[in-house]
Structure 1
Amino acid sequence: MAQKSKKIHTEKTSLHARNLHRERYDFEELINSQSELSKFVFINPFGDKSIDFANPDAVKALNKALLKHFYGIIYWDIPDGYLCPPIPGRADYIHYIADLLASVNDEKFPVGKEVKVLDIGVGANCVYPIVGHREYGWSFTGSDVDPVSINSARQIIDKNPSLEGAIDIRLQTSSKHIFKGIIQPAEIFDVTICNPPFHASLAEAQAGTKRKLTNLGLKSGAKPTLNFGGQNAELWVEGGEEAFIRQMVRESAEIANQCLWFTSLISKKTTLPGVYAELKKVNAFNVKTVEMAQGQKVSRFVAWTFLDKETQKKWANERFGK
């Protein structure tokens, strides 16, 4: 981790206080961890070291370095064309989830393998389980509808001894269901997380990629790579993220007592009213919207529980201990 005395003026104060990525990337240290990153690093017009964030190979090399340097991951790779996520933002969601669990546990975030987390749409990258296990020691189950993603995630786990026994990967065989077929009848989870596909169609996903490329200063003639990697199931779903999350809400009501908190990231503010309406229909006991800021981008997740205050407290006492 970069030394704060040298980089205090570059601290990213918008990130969560426990996020290991609050300081600007120390490319010298990252290259020491992952030498292949060196060929992608250059001096930008401001005199700082950087990479081309529109180059999927450069972003993949950066992720390998970050995961090795900060989380001890000796092997990490994804198939060509699959989503290569920004690690700092992924870590933020995990840290805010820890705060959510702490909110029912006398403000003490629970640690250890007894804490069970379900990651809906774990993806080929398996980043949320990696960060959550390495930071808090939690046990994860990751589900996905894509067999290639499932195989990739399993390979990452198998090739990292530090992840052994910590992450279970399950194939969702029905594209119409989210929890059904994944959570077993007597199975308990403390929290579910999800980064849902947020576009409603392939065309919408491609338009979003063009905007991102423009924001990064690429010429309009540049060949776009969908979201710098990303398969259909990762980027779009019929009805967009609102339809997906509303289905998640409906299914969560059927397993109301098997999970303390259900959560999902929400990319678009316009999605919120529909999700709130669905949560009202299923009589969720408590609903929270948590905002997270990464630089100029503001993201958020919605969390809901069907358990009343007394049951929440009992759950925390029994499962998290003191």
Structure 2
Amino acid sequence: MSSKRKHSDDAPRAGPSIDGNSTTALEDQPMAVTWPVPSADNQFKDLYLKPPDFKQLALLDPDFAAYVKGRDLDFNDPTSVMQLTKTLLKLDFDLKIELPGDRLCPPVANRHNYILWLKGLLDTSSYEPPGRKLVGLDIGTGASCIYPLLGCAQRPWSFIATGNHQLMIKSDIDEKNLEYARKNVKLNDLEARIKVVSRKPDAQLIPLDDLGIESIDFCMTNPPFYESADEMRRSASKKSRPPSTACTGSEVEMVTAGGEVGFVERILAESLVLRGRVQWYTAMLGFLSSATKLLEELKAHGIDNCAVTEFVQGSKTRRWAVAWSFGGARPAQSVARGTGSVPTRALLPPVTEVDVLSLRLPGGGVGGFASRFSGAIGGLELLSWDWDVEKFEGVGRAVGNVWNRAWRRRKKKREVESRTAGSERDTGETPGAAGFGFLVWVKVVRQDEVSIGSRWLEGHDGTIFESFQGFLKTTAQALTAGRDGETS
């Protein structure tokens, strides 16, 4: 929990201010803001590791103090819980919201968990540095418009550039929600970056063509849990009310045809058409059975690049999230395999990070070994290879398993056939297209001992990553034995 009020200059969100008499278009204005560097994410990452101290919050926010008795808050009072949400948003994110009494009051920590996971998903599935400017679609907004507000407070996920608008888009079918969502966007001076779009119930959930947008970086949704009002009431009768749900949502926010699985299945169906026009399709779910069902469907459709995680807040609230991509860029293992709750391990995404081996160095020191090891990898026919001599780690890309002798023999055969034919022949490979991306590291265990590991960064064929691990092991062992490290 933040110990002080978060000021607007800590994480600027709004674009350049425009004077009411100005005739200059927004897109012609420079953006005079500095976005938080990735290290600033630490303040957001650690916010709700511990329950909030209500007494401390009361000292920081007089509006909240009116509802606190000592260190206690009445969670059976919707107005108390609504004020808690407003106070956390104000102190930790410099955000303001207004909510009607008959709409869902979003628990901040739960929603924030989704944003944190999205940041990890997007940061670790790109060769670009974390914190880049992205475009997102939030499907089915509530009155608070909380997901885009939280995203904009932490990252430049929408922006104004000369001649261009890149907007985080919200879509919903409930006019009252839309009214308040627009009000909350305006309240935070984010009209230039968050656009609220009204959609019909049977319209596409990912309206790229309707909006004239070619592609976006991600979509997200926290759909209604239940298939019917009866199911919602039965579920409520089976459990005691946790603090985070003291504010009662309307039926339009809690019920949808087919429940949350049916809703996300619509997104999945659209993704099979849109494919790479959205880098990551994501959804937060209220039931483990829903996450399991969707993972089964992704596998049935042959979608091999996916992620699943579990959000745990306090002792009662659990949520799950599932993501999938048609691209080859793979997220970190901690992001992709963030739960042990999935009943069948075969449904989990593949392992992408491994410690290949540890070995003693006979002489020459770690630096000398790392240099020779990097040289052996760089000697392969790679599309790129960048080695950091200080960190002892490198990133490379290849068209396939170029370390394999069989691959080299096939390549030589194709070259001979091409020369014989007197022209270029189709090799079955796209020149310059990476089929495999990897990270390799050498870590010092002791003065004379190192461990070697690797992470799968890009590609769809897990057997190539397994083969690469064998190459690394054989090469490292050969180097320590004084051989050249050639593999079979």
TM-score higher than 0.5: yes
Letter in 1 for 2:101: D
Question: CA–CA distance in 2 between the matches of 1:230 and 1:273?
Answer: 26
- Once the 2 structures are TM-superposed, how far is the Cα of residue 82 of structure 1 from its aligned partner? 0.4
Q: Report 1:11-30 matches (<5 A).
A: 18-30=45-57
Distance verdict in 2 for CA 1:214–1:307, change over 3 Å: closer
Note if 1:116 corresponds to 2:135.
Answer: yes
The answer for the alignment partner of 1:194 in structure 2 is 221
Q: Tell me how far apart the structure 1 counterparts of residues 192 and 58 of structure 2 sit (CA, whole Å).
A: 30
CA distance in 2, matches of 1:25, 1:279: 38
Residue in 2 that maps onto 1:262 = 281
Can you list the C-alpha shifts for 1:86-111, whole angstroms capped at 9, x where unaligned?
10111111011000011212594334
Aligned residue in 2 for 1:94: 115
Structure-to-structure mapping, 1:277-292, within 5 angstroms? 277-292=296-311
Q: Tell me which structure has the larger Cα radius of gyration.
A: 2
Matched, 1:60 2:88: no
Q: 2:322 aligns with which of 291, 295, 302?
A: 302
1 or 2 for the larger relative contact order (CA 8 Å, sep ≥6)? 1
Change (3 A) 1:100 1:16: farther
1:147 alignment counterpart: 175
| 8 Å CA contact 1:246, 1:274 repeated in 2 | no
Task: Report SS of the residue matched to 1:254.
Answer: helix
Report the counterpart of residue 158 of structure 1 in structure 2: 186
CA–CA separation in structure 2 for the residues paired with 1:312 and 1:295: 40
1:304 Cα deviation from its structure 2 partner? 0.2
Q: Is the 8 A contact 1:19 1:91 kept in 2?
A: no
Is the contact between residue 66 and residue 87 of structure 1 (CA under 8 Å) also seen in structure 2? yes
> In the alignment, what sits opposite 1:206?
233
Name the one with the larger helix percent. 1
Greater CA drift, 267-276 or 128-137: 267-276
1:260 shift after superposition = 0.5
1:69-92 CA-partner distances (Å, limit 9, x unpaired):
11112x311112101011011111
Task: Classify 1:227/1:212 alpha carbon distance in 2 versus 1 (closer, same or farther; 3 Å).
Answer: farther
Q: For the Cα contact (< 8 Å) 1:118–1:192, is it kept in 2?
A: yes
Pairing partner for 2:151 from 132, 144, 147: 132
- Seen in structure 2, the aligned counterparts of structure 1 residues 212 and 142 have a Cα distance that, compared at 3 Å, is farther
Aligned residue for 2:105?
84
Quote the Cα distance in structure 2 between the aligned partners of 1:214 and 1:116: 36
Counterpart amino acid of 1:145?
Answer: I
Q: Letter of the aligned partner of 2:75 in structure 1?
A: F
Partner residue, 1:172: 199
Deviation at 1:117, TM superposition (A): 1.1
Provide the TM-score with structure 2 as the length reference.
0.54
Query: What's the CA shift for 1:125?
Result: 0.9
Judged with a 3 Å threshold, the aligned counterparts in structure 2 of structure 1 residues 283 and 171 are, in CA distance, closer, same or farther, namely farther
Check 1:106–1:72 CA distance in 2 against 1; reply closer, same or farther (3 A cut): same
Task: Give the AA of the match of 2:124.
Answer: S
* 8 Å contact kept, 1:54–1:213: no
Structure 2 distance, partners of 1:149, 1:311, is: 45
Stretches of structure 1 lacking an aligned partner (at least 5 in a row) = 4-14, 44-48, 217-225, 317-322
| Cα distance in 2, alignment partners of residues 169 and 214 from structure 1 | 32
- Cα distance change of structure 1 residues 214 and 264 upon mapping to structure 2, 3 Å threshold: closer
Residue by residue, what CA displacement relative to the aligned partner does 1:104-159 show, whole Å, maximum 9, x if unpaired? Answer: 12594334xx3111111121011111111111121221111111111101001112
1:193 Cα deviation from its structure 2 partner: 1.0
Residue type of the alignment partner of 1:308 = G
- Aligned twin of 1:272: 291
Q: CA deviation at 1:208?
A: 2.9
Shift of 1:227: 6.3
130 and 56 in structure 1: CA distance in 2 versus 1, 3 angstrom threshold: same
* Change over 3 Å in CA distance of 1:215–1:174 after alignment to 2: closer
In structure 2, what is the equivalent of residue 8 of structure 1?
none
CA contact (8 A) 2:55 2:68 kept: no
* Alignment coverage as a number of residue pairs: 285
User: Compared with structure 1, are the counterparts of its residues 17 and 66 closer, same or farther at alpha carbon in structure 2 (3 Å cutoff)?
Assistant: closer
Alpha-carbon distance change, 42 to 213 in structure 1, aligned in 2, over 3 angstroms:
farther
> What TM-score do the two structures reach when normalised by structure 1?
0.79
Q: Percent identity?
A: 27
Q: Write out per-residue CA displacement over residues 26-45 of structure 1, whole angstroms, 9 at most, x where no aligned residue.
A: 334433554232222124xx
Q: 1:299, CA displacement in angstroms? A: 1.9
Q: How far apart are the structure 1 equivalents of 2:220 and 2:323? A: 9
Task: Measure how far apart 1:181 and its partner are.
Answer: 7.0
DSSP 3-state at the match of 2:66: helix
Residues 290 and 302, structure 1, Cα contact 8 Å, conserved in 2: yes
Corresponding letter in the other structure for 2:74: D
Distance 1:26 1:272 in 2: 33
Structure 2 unaligned residues grouped into runs of 5+:
5-41, 159-167, 330-433, 438-456, 458-488
The alpha-carbon deviation at position 61 of structure 1 amounts to 0.7
Per the TM alignment, residue 175 of structure 1 is displaced from its structure 2 partner at its CA by 4.2
